Structure 1
Amino acid sequence: MVEPLAADALEGVPHGFLTRRGGVSLGEAAGLQCGFGADDDPAAVRENRRLASEAVLPGAPLVSVHQIHSPDVVTVDEPWADEDRPRADGLVTHRRGILLGIVTADCAPVLLADSVAGVVGAAHAGWRGARAGVLENTVDAMVALGADRSAIAAAIGPCIMQPSYEVDDGFRDQFDAGDSRFFNPGGPGHWQFDLPAYAAMRLGVAGVERVETLGCDTYAEPDLFYSFRRATHRGEANYGRLISLVGLRP
């Protein structure tokens, strides 16, 4: 059974953070595997994406991007085919009846909405994209469509949490000195990075006043979530991608 997780912050807005349960993919990435880059049967991926979309906003076309860990954001005026996906890591729209989709496998999926203005957004916030400004750019693109910065609510979905996210000194050195609060000491030369807290901070910098973090750890819950890091540590040949969706009712 497909199981979208919902955020209180986005109540009334069609949205969902999908788990891996309920899909048709087989093998190591069995379940609701929604990424075209996961070495999966394309027909299974398309069916999984259909199942996910129907669970959130039945009948709505799903629009996604070819994600590249960038700060780039696109505005969706009309749906495009999967093979025509632009290279970007954020999407925004004020068009009703369209679902915006982001796929993740430890990175933070962020869904945003100004329900009064009728503008929604979705962002793929790994550490690179978040540090480069993808969240601020997504908020700016929503404002350009008529959203009120202070009225935007955001939800940070399942991602790798701090206890599971060990990084080294070289990783930490890429961040500003003021970001030290997002790193807890680990073993010698290592740290535990708080990705969702860092993403929430960047949203706050962008003027978003209501941010909810679901607190689900993709690495620690293999029955529910795909995880790139977990698959790597286990020596698995493949890993799946979760999908997160947001849209506006027609």
Structure 2
Amino acid sequence: MPEARELADFVRPELEARGLRVFEISTASHEGLRPLTFALAEIVDQARAEAPAPEPARIVLRPHAVDEKGFTVTRRQDADGVYFEVLGAKPERWVRQTDFSNDEAVGYLADRLARLGVEEKLFATGAVAGDEVRIGSGNGAVVFDWEPTLLTGSELLGGPRGTDLRLDDRLRPSRKEKRAEFHERMDAKAAAREELWTERSSGHWSDPADEARAASDDAGDDRA
């Protein structure tokens, strides 16, 4: 376009007076593109030469420990008493995904927590049946009374689909009832042992090996 060339000739002196390099190019005929390409390459080479040398990046790899479970269990205490706080990406994500109005979903959550090792960690931290456990922190934490029997698995899953016997209220006595049942069981065992020792000391029963030796001695006396 003759008009464009004339305009370029008109503005060139002004641009060069400002210290700018001027390249007249044509996108139609590709005139002037090669000198422009060389000029751009010079600018890139100059920028690279003036740039500071890049510092070598130091990559640090920190593998997880072999026994790292990805969660923590901490014994805490507030105005309401002692509770155990469970924090970790997996358990907190699982409780957010659980529909607590669905017994089967709650039972599945309990199984996942047991497989992850939350139950064992609660035992190791000192938790006992009936203690308060909070998964998560703050107002978003899920709070429940811990039942170690949740470790028991397949034998309790024989009910109809959508039910979980581990969540049946009849199988979830209060802390006071569980302690009373435990003491009654221990007392019954102690009484049974005492009765057995009393009968043995009174001669009501004896060791089978002693009876066999006595029978052998009686047989020898008869032969004599």
TM-score grouping bracket, smaller chain normalisation = under 0.3
Q: Which structure would you say has the larger Rg?
A: 2
More helix by percentage: 2
Greater relative contact order (CA < 8 Å, ≥ 6 in sequence):
1
More strand by percentage: 1
